[in-house]
């Protein structure tokens, strides 16, 4: 049986900041590799510097808020990973639409680079948030929080 877990506020603040920071670094590394390999059209804005940074910050913040909501569920890590997997698949939709429409001069190679960025952020979020963000509640602490009864 899984032990109850909770989010400790002060600790979670640095975990959230670390998740965002590592996600941005990883996305910038993927972007740099994609630009070197693909030589995308300069009009293809999703592979310029600012959009991936902003999208990563917003996506990581959304992942953090979802994690906070799920943290009180039974088996929060497994539940969060399942929700993240669905969110990852949904996040591919705009990339597929960009690839199919050739909007901004991009095609499938550029879309795959964007999808890799999404996977990288997802892996970081589902790894760091549950492993560093949840604190196991000990049985003695859980019993201390229960009101005393003489009956």
Q: Nearest-CA neighbor of 63 among 112, 11, 116, 133?
A: 133
* 116 against 43, higher pLDDT: 116
**Could you tell me which residues are beta bridge partners of residue 136?**
5
Q: Stretch 137-151: mean pLDDT, rounded?
A: 55
What is the structure's pLDDT at 1? 46
pLDDT category at 126 given cuts 50, 70, 90 is very high
How long is the chain? 151
Percentage of the chain modeled with pLDDT above 70: 87
| DSSP β-bridge partners for residue 5 | 136
Q: Which of 77, 62, 92, 53 is nearest to 129 (CA)?
A: 77
**pLDDT single digits (tens) 22-63:** 999 999 999 999 999 999 999 999 999 999 999 999 999 999
pLDDT value of position 103: 84
Q: Does residue 2 surpass a pLDDT of 80?
A: no
| Nearest to 88, CA basis, from 51, 50, 126, 61 | 126
């Amino acid at each position: 049986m899984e032990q109850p877990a909770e989010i400790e506020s002060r600790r979670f603040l640095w975990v959230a900041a670390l998740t965002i920071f590592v996600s941005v670094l990883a996305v910038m590394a993927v972007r740099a590799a994609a630009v070197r390999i693909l030589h995308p059209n300069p009009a293809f804005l999703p592979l310029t510097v600012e959009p991936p940074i902003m999208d990563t910050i917003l996506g990581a913040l959304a992942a953090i808020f979802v994690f906070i909501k799920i943290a009180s569920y039974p088996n929060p890590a497994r539940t969060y990973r399942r929700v993240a997997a669905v969110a990852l698949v949904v996040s591919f939709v705009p990339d597929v639409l960009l690839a199919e429409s050739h909007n901004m001069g991009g095609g499938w190679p550029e879309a795959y680079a964007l999808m890799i960025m999404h996977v990288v952020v997802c892996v970081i979020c589902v790894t760091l948030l549950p492993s560093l963000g949840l604190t196991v509640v000990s049985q003695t602490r859980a019993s201390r929080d229960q009101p005393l009864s003489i009956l």
